[in-house]
């Protein structure tokens, strides 16, 4: 197979992409990621997640602890410390709401693990502490082995009920230990967008998988790279230095294919990644001497810088659009970090082994 050179950041570094040699590569999981909160929302919502009834102290998964940790790591909630809980009700009818009002909790989650015909089930309830109103009650079938997944699911449901945004705690983040210039899948999964250098110049192409038809999309003498599909699959976003520096463009597939420049703020904008709702792009921008993560509103064209480090790259939206994960540097090593799409909180992840790069957030799991 023929190797094609692809530059992931114009003027910065080169990587090699072997055309169709390996579209999917499996990387073994060698280390857990550790999450450190570096900046949180100052007005995070106080919530109490009471230890669930029916769980032994030796249980492999503490359901309430996982739920509380998920909500805390979202940056939007401030779970009450267990040491401050005066009682530990396992059902709504056992809650003395006046006690929790004194502890200044706005919401409370209670639950219990119970045996049932299929093995076990987890029942949980969410209440508004100020009014005593029940907001959510569900019973979820579970197994001891799958208890952590159930806890993440509960956190998803609570997060969605209180914010109106689907929770993403049940999703995963994939990452590799070195740069990977992967092609981009079309929304329907039938085509790939990729960067090739077939005549000595880097341009954007699409590959229809069924017919193996390769179609050239751009033909500018500049470097065109990092394609990203639009939500409807009818156009591509990409990075090009045709204006003298890296900027983000959009080109419609078919027709004259006249590319439209989208970014004009800052001298460098690259690696566009579309939000799940199709309304904004996350990208890397050169801001005050550092490479940082920003979002571009596709309607207003306003660019909003979200991070404040100097070597941030490779943004990827969570499937609910609320958070962006990206690669950065921590004490000279590659690490991952997250920032809310409104820039209000930041979190840093680190691995015990080696550099981690190129994060990609999974879609919502099928149910």
The parent domain of residue 262 ranges over 3-27+174-360
Question: What residues have CB less than 8 Å from 175, skipping those under 6 apart?
Answer: 327, 336, 356, 357, 358, 359, 360
DSSP code for 259: -
**Percent of the residues in the chain that have a pLDDT greater than 90, as a whole number:** 53
CA distances from 207 to 124, 191, 212, 232 (A): 48, 5, 6, 17
User: Do 216 and 347 fall within a single domain?
Assistant: yes
The count of domains in the chain is 2
pLDDT of residue 256: 67
pLDDT of residue 146: 85
Per the CB < 8 A criterion, the answer to whether 338 and 349 are in contact is: yes
Count of Cβ atoms closer than 10 Å to residue 121 Cβ = 18
Is a pLDDT exceeding 50 seen at residue 365?
A: yes
The band of 359, judged by pLDDT with boundaries at 50, 70 and 90, is confident
User: Do 247 and 292 fall within a single domain?
Assistant: yes
User: Do 74 and 202 fall within a single domain?
Assistant: no
| Residue position matching structure tokens 């609910």 | 320
Measuring CA to CA, which residue among 301, 311, 304 is closest to residue 343?
A: 304
Give the pair of three-digit tokens for residue 7: 């530059």
User: Do 22 and 49 fall within a single domain?
Assistant: no
User: Do 191 and 308 fall within a single domain?
Assistant: yes
DSSP code for 228: E
CATH code assigned at 276: 2.120.10.30
pLDDT of residue 329: 83
User: Do 311 and 196 fall within a single domain?
Assistant: yes
Is a pLDDT exceeding 70 seen at residue 276?
A: yes
User: Do 189 and 328 fall within a single domain?
Assistant: yes
Is a pLDDT exceeding 50 seen at residue 310?
A: yes
pLDDT of residue 354: 58
Please identify, among 163, 184, 209, the residue that sits at the C-terminal boundary of a domain. 163
133 dihedral zone (left: phi>0; alpha: psi -120 to 50; beta): beta
Q: What are phi and psi of 100, to 5 degrees?
A: -75, -25
Give the pair of three-digit tokens for residue 40: 């949180």
CATH code assigned at 143: 3.40.50.10070
How much is the pTM? Answer: 0.61
Question: Any idea which of 124-138, 147-161, 327-341, 344-358 has the lowest mean pLDDT?
Answer: 344-358
pLDDT of residue 31: 45
What are the helix and strand counts (H, E) for the chain? 3, 26
Is a pLDDT exceeding 90 seen at residue 132?
A: yes
pLDDT of residue 182: 59
pLDDT of residue 357: 66
The band of 333, judged by pLDDT with boundaries at 50, 70 and 90, is confident
Is a pLDDT exceeding 80 seen at residue 37?
A: no
pLDDT tens-place string over residues 180-205: 755 788 998 899 999 998 877 889 99
Question: Any idea which of 61-75, 138-152, 349-363 has the lowest mean pLDDT?
Answer: 349-363
Q: Is position 367 within any domain?
A: no
Please identify, among 163, 185, 213, the residue that sits at the C-terminal boundary of a domain. 163
pLDDT tens-place string over residues 196-255: 988 778 899 999 989 999 999 998 888 999 999 999 999 999 999 988 889 999 999 987
Which burial class, exposed, middle or buried, applies to 125 when counting CB atoms under 10 A from its CB (0-12, 13-18, 19+)? Answer: buried
pLDDT of residue 123: 95
pLDDT of residue 289: 92
User: Do 83 and 214 fall within a single domain?
Assistant: no
Please identify, among 140, 163, 186, the residue that sits at the C-terminal boundary of a domain. 163
Per the CB < 8 A criterion, the answer to whether 347 and 333 are in contact is: no
Question: Any idea which of 34-38, 180-184, 248-252, 293-297 has the lowest mean pLDDT?
Answer: 34-38
Separation of CA 247 from chain center: 23
Q: Is position 244 within any domain?
A: yes
The band of 10, judged by pLDDT with boundaries at 50, 70 and 90, is very low
DSSP code for 199: S
Q: Is position 36 within any domain?
A: no
User: Do 118 and 192 fall within a single domain?
Assistant: no
Q: Is position 260 within any domain?
A: yes
The band of 290, judged by pLDDT with boundaries at 50, 70 and 90, is very high
pLDDT of residue 170: 80
User: Do 124 and 146 fall within a single domain?
Assistant: yes
Q: Is position 169 within any domain?
A: no
User: Do 184 and 278 fall within a single domain?
Assistant: yes
User: Do 20 and 128 fall within a single domain?
Assistant: no
Rounded Cα–Cα distance for residues 290 and 267 (Å): 11
pLDDT of residue 7: 34
Is a pLDDT exceeding 80 seen at residue 12?
A: no
Helix or strand (DSSP H, E) at 253: none
């Amino acid at each position: 197979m023929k190797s094609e050179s692809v530059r992931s950041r114009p003027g910065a570094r080169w990587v090699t992409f072997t055309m169709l040699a390996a579209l999917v590569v499996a990387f073994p999981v060698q280390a857990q990621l550790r999450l450190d909160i570096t900046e949180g929302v100052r007005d995070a919502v106080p919530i109490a997640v009471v230890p669930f009834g029916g769980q032994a102290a030796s249980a492999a998964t503490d359901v309430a602890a996982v739920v509380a940790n998920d909500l805390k790591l979202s940056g939007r909630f401030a779970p009450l410390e267990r040491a401050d809980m005066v009682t530990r009700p396992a059902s709504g009818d056992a809650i003395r709401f006046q006690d929790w009002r004194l502890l200044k909790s706005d919401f409370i989650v209670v639950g219990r693990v119970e045996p049932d015909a299929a093995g076990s089930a987890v029942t949980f309830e969410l209440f508004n502490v100020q009014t005593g109103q029940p907001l959510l009650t569900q019973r979820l079938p579970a197994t001891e082995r799958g208890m952590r997944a159930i806890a993440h699911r509960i956190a998803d449901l609570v997060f969605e009920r209180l914010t109106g945004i689907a929770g993403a705690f049940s999703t995963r983040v994939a990452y590799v230990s070195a740069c990977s210039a992967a092609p981009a899948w079309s929304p329907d999964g039938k085509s790939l967008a990729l960067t090739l250098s077939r005549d000595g110049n880097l341009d954007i192409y699409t590959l229809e998988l069924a017919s193996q038809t390769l179609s050239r999309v751009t033909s500018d003498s500049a470097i065109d790279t990092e394609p990203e599909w639009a939500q409807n699959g009818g156009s591509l976003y990409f990075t090009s230095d045709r204006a003298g520096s890296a900027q983000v463009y959009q080109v419609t597939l078919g027709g004259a294919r006249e590319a439209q420049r989208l970014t004009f703020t800052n001298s460098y904008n690259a690696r566009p990644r579309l939000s799940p709702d199709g309304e904004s792009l996350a990208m890397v921008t050169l801001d005050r001497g550092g490479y940082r993560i920003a979002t571009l509103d596709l309607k207003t064209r306003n660019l909003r810088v979200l991070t404040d480090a100097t070597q941030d790259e490779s943004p990827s939206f969570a499937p609910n659009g609320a958070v962006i994960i990206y690669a950065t540097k921590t004490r000279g090593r590659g690490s991952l970090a997250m920032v809310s799409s409104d820039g209000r909180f930041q979190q840093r992840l680190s691995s015990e082994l080696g550099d981690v790069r190129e994060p990609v957030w999974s879609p919502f799991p099928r149910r």
